[in-house]
Structure 1
Amino acid sequence: MKIKVTAVFDIGRTNKKFFLFDENFQEVHREYNRFDEIEDEDGYPTENLAALEKWVKEVFDKMLDSETYEIEALNFSCYGASWVHIDENGKPLTPLYNYMKPLKDDIFNSFYGAYGPENELSRVTGSPKLGMLNTGMHLYWLKNTQPETFKKIKYSLHLPQYLSYLFTGIPVSEYTSIGCHTMLWDFEKKDYHSWVYQEGIDKKLPPIDSSRKTALINYKGKTIKMGVGIHDSSSALLPYIRSVNKPFLLISTGTWSISINPFNEGMLTAEDIENDSLFNMRIDGSPVKVSRLFLGNEYKLQVKALSDHFNVSPDAHKKVKFNQDTFFEINKDFTHMFKWSTMSSEDMPNETTISYDKFEHAYHQLMLELVLLQEKSIRAAIGNSAINQLYVDGGFSDNEIYIQLLSQYMGNMKLSTTDSSLGSALGAAIVISDVVLEATFLDKNYAVKNHRPFILK
């Protein structure tokens, strides 16, 4: 008797993953792959779309013939801010341009000159000025720099929807991809922004479908329920939304620390935009307030500098345990010591000055300063929402000092860490199922740990 499973392709910038989940959303199979980047016509590195397509089809076709598993459904979770532009025959017209590809000032000047001011546009679209990370700006750039290519576009599909299209032949747009700091969506009107219509870009976007939408497709003689794909950040949020009954904030940590508030009411303010807040979108089209902090990237740079300064192993920071006495010593006469490399804060000095003779003390100081920034980012995301529960997942959920200090500074809230390495893939499986998650789902599947502030002396 074959095990009935849902298949999910979880496509990150670096790792390409394929999962099979059983009827209880337990992982029963996984595969990984990586592809070397190629270059676009300007020599800028970008995703090897042809290699990705080939791998996706090969892996799925192989598992379709498995003697162990019977695939009943398929969905896709992918990184955002990436378009595949297809012609009338469904073939890609351009490389899958890297969202870090820089744009020239004349594009920004032309766009904001016609549709600005910048702050107001960012407020209503929930999208700070992020260049190609704003996929609306990507389309504006393409129309103005490659007009002949733009004319040939039948549809522009975000990457999750393009992978779905490869299997279904059905072109769709989908809320979580549209609402991910694209600058396309007017959250006040709950429709595409007027500039999208004025530029004729709406004609390149297929009809919008819910992330829950599925189609029964006859694929190589087998009937399979296929999803339309989902943006990975929105997908990772879904198991929490489906199983937690009270409002919460999810802090997803890694290179970026993203504080995600699905319970925000109202529009972003000018202050929110200044605090690097933006909107993502839930699967029903409602806004999710997000505040970003370049935490992991800054941490990596500062830890390397500290290791060099104290002439210790690059891994020495992994062995430092939280020490209350060290914290009290630092906190008693606290001053900011670190000048950030990739962030800025009003309290940071002009130069980094380390006044300690022990690596452990300097590391505690670093973590305290980073947590103070994290606290500010969390409170910006919470805004006026009545939230008392915080969940932390990702790399920093294992950092004892980070968790202890965060618990202390967010002491009026419950703080829990979760191990959700499957996060976005699991969400993609759940969104196309009809299953109602139990309240114990996180405890059973995410290794939830609760943390309390330490007692002040």
Structure 2
Amino acid sequence: MTETIPHHVAVIDIGKTNAKVVLIDTRTGQQVTSLGRPNTIRKEGLYPHADVEGLWTFICGALTALHAEHGIDGISITTHGATGALLTGEELALPVLDYEFDGPEETSGEYDRVRPDFAESLSPRLPNGLNWGTQLFWQSRRFPEQFATVTAIVPYPQYWAWRLTGVLASEVTSLGCHTDLWAPDRGDFSSMVEALGWRALFPEVRPAVSIIGTLRPEIAAQTGLLATTPVTCGIHDSNASLVPHLGQHDEPFTIVSTGTWSILMTVGGGTAALDPRKDSLANVDAFGRAVPTARFMGGREFDVLVPEITEPSRADITFVIDNDVQALPSFVPGVGPFGERAGNWTVDPDSLTPRQRTAAASLYLALMARACLDLCGLGRSITLEGPLARNRLFGAMLAYLTGVPVAASGDATGTSLGASLLFGGQLPKTGGSHALAPLQAEGLDDYVKRWRSRVVP
């Protein structure tokens, strides 16, 4: 770790839907500016895969522009989970597989016979490639010649750290992100990794809160940054959202990290209620501790439910409640606490105004979040991070459903801010969060009871 925390940290933040480079002022804890682009999936070739070269061009261009305008003193990295790279020397042995691709289902029967029990991995069996282990297994069976040349298997944040620095590492937040590759309680690779002979392919495990190295000379020359610019090891994005809160709240406390996924993590909570059939699991935080987690694809579902986002009025909320307008899970099959259900509405959604649809969808997301809390545990307080922190109806409904204080973070990019803290230090007290009053509406109790009766057998 550096003795002096960098002033301007450029955070490479690769989400499933969008990628950005965010410049954070560590003295104020504020975002200075950001540059972004869609994180597109390439369909050609062996299988759908990440456009790593397109992302690399964007990253280098963004670093160049941000450094020229503001100066960059350090680089940190955070990415979505369930993804990693297979390297043969300095090249990819195979493309970085898209975890939504269903190819790994081809070997699911064989894989299920070798994957570790939930009691060991705290990782549920998920569809397609959402278990990174099933991706690796499928790649090893489908492309044995290429897999035989692999010299290193690296989680996705550490892949980008390697491209910047030339240093290989593994890191526990990505290894422990429903991969089947990690045993959280033991703090070591799972028995499957040993049985399949993969352990030697994973580089040394390094802490997220550490410096992996400095820029390769050619990258420094290309971007104009100093070759001595430090780069962090990197972290899984949901865990990046946790970093600013570790040690800052009375435990247990719940963080709701939102984006494509809505991920609820209760730090200091127990794992006894986790159910592998309901997409609940243990993540591993930046310090290697198991964190009970439940999740659903809230951002993806909201996009399906609400073609045109508008701010609902009190009258719109009343209409939705009085007319029993409900969205029922799940609009992304196979994930979340009700992944076995097919999503539907109680009314024809085309009969609703955009504001009414937004109101109903916001209530739906809060009800889904509350169902997740039955699995991962309800903290003494809840903090909302990411886009849903700006959805006032969602936050008010969640406060009503839980009866604990709910605060909306004033930072729109909790993952980027958290990743900037991997250099050390603490978030300045800016007062950016604000408390949300519980929703009050006549008929709300009955509305909730009807929703639950429809989704719980």
Deviations along 1:286-305, one digit per CA (max 9) or x if unpaired, are 1121111333444444446x
Deviations along 1:1-39, one digit per CA (max 9) or x if unpaired, are xx9422221122332212222341333342223465423
* Paired AA for residue 111 in structure 1: Y
* Paired AA for residue 395 in structure 1: P
The change in CA–CA distance for 1:114 and 1:224 in structure 2 (over 3 A counts) is: closer
User: Using the alignment, how far apart are the partners of 1:346 and 1:67 within structure 2?
Assistant: 46
Deviations along 1:22-78, one digit per CA (max 9) or x if unpaired, are 341333342223465423434x432211222233234435555x3752x32211111
1:376 and 2:371 matched = yes
Give the match's secondary structure for 1:223.
coil
User: Using the alignment, how far apart are the partners of 2:26 and 2:255 within structure 1?
Assistant: 26
Moved more, 153-162 or 71-80: 71-80
Deviations along 1:231-270, one digit per CA (max 9) or x if unpaired, are 11111221122543553211233443221112223x455x
Deviations along 1:286-328, one digit per CA (max 9) or x if unpaired, are 1121111333444444446xxxxxxxxx45x533336786587
The change in CA–CA distance for 1:295 and 1:73 in structure 2 (over 3 A counts) is: closer
* Paired AA for residue 286 in structure 2: I
User: Using the alignment, how far apart are the partners of 1:324 and 1:41 within structure 2?
Assistant: 48
**What residue in structure 1 maps to residue 223 of structure 2?**
none
Moved more, 366-375 or 103-112: 366-375
1:150 and 2:136 matched = no
Give the match's secondary structure for 1:19.
strand
Deviation, 1:276, is: 1.9
The change in CA–CA distance for 1:297 and 1:455 in structure 2 (over 3 A counts) is: closer
Paired residues of 2:389 and 2:412 also in contact (CA < 8 A): no
Aligned partner of 1:293 among 288, 292, 296 = 296
CA-atom RMSD in angstroms: 3.4
- How many residues in Structure 1 have an aligned counterpart in Structure 2? 423
Paired residues of 2:161 and 2:212 also in contact (CA < 8 A): no
User: Using the alignment, how far apart are the partners of 2:340 and 2:82 within structure 1?
Assistant: 32
User: Using the alignment, how far apart are the partners of 2:182 and 2:357 within structure 1?
Assistant: 45
Scaled by the length of structure 1, the TM-score of the pair is 0.80
**What residue in structure 2 maps to residue 276 of structure 1?**
279
Paired residues of 1:243 and 1:437 also in contact (CA < 8 A): no
1:168 and 2:171 matched = no
Deviation, 1:154, is: 0.8
User: Using the alignment, how far apart are the partners of 1:248 and 1:54 within structure 2?
Assistant: 39
**What residue in structure 2 maps to residue 310 of structure 1?**
none
Paired residues of 2:238 and 2:263 also in contact (CA < 8 A): no
Q: Equivalent pairs: percent with the same residue?
A: 22
**What residue in structure 2 maps to residue 309 of structure 1?**
none
The change in CA–CA distance for 1:370 and 1:322 in structure 2 (over 3 A counts) is: farther
User: Using the alignment, how far apart are the partners of 1:447 and 1:47 within structure 2?
Assistant: 34
Deviation, 1:102, is: 0.8
**What residue in structure 2 maps to residue 32 of structure 1?**
36
The change in CA–CA distance for 1:32 and 1:348 in structure 2 (over 3 A counts) is: closer
Paired residues of 1:336 and 1:369 also in contact (CA < 8 A): yes
Paired residues of 2:362 and 2:391 also in contact (CA < 8 A): no
Paired residues of 1:337 and 1:352 also in contact (CA < 8 A): yes
The change in CA–CA distance for 1:183 and 1:40 in structure 2 (over 3 A counts) is: farther
User: Using the alignment, how far apart are the partners of 2:30 and 2:326 within structure 1?
Assistant: 46
Aligned partner of 1:226 among 226, 231, 236 = 231
**What residue in structure 2 maps to residue 86 of structure 1?**
87
Deviations along 1:338-388, one digit per CA (max 9) or x if unpaired, are 5754468599999754399986888766655553333221232216xxx22
* Paired AA for residue 74 in structure 1: I
**What residue in structure 2 maps to residue 112 of structure 1?**
112
Give the match's secondary structure for 2:100.
coil
* Paired AA for residue 401 in structure 1: L
Paired residues of 2:330 and 2:339 also in contact (CA < 8 A): no
* Paired AA for residue 146 in structure 1: F
User: Using the alignment, how far apart are the partners of 1:29 and 1:336 within structure 2?
Assistant: 38
**What residue in structure 2 maps to residue 263 of structure 1?**
268
Paired residues of 1:242 and 1:437 also in contact (CA < 8 A): no
User: Using the alignment, how far apart are the partners of 1:68 and 1:298 within structure 2?
Assistant: 37
* Paired AA for residue 126 in structure 1: L
Deviation, 1:133, is: 1.7
Deviation, 1:216, is: 5.1
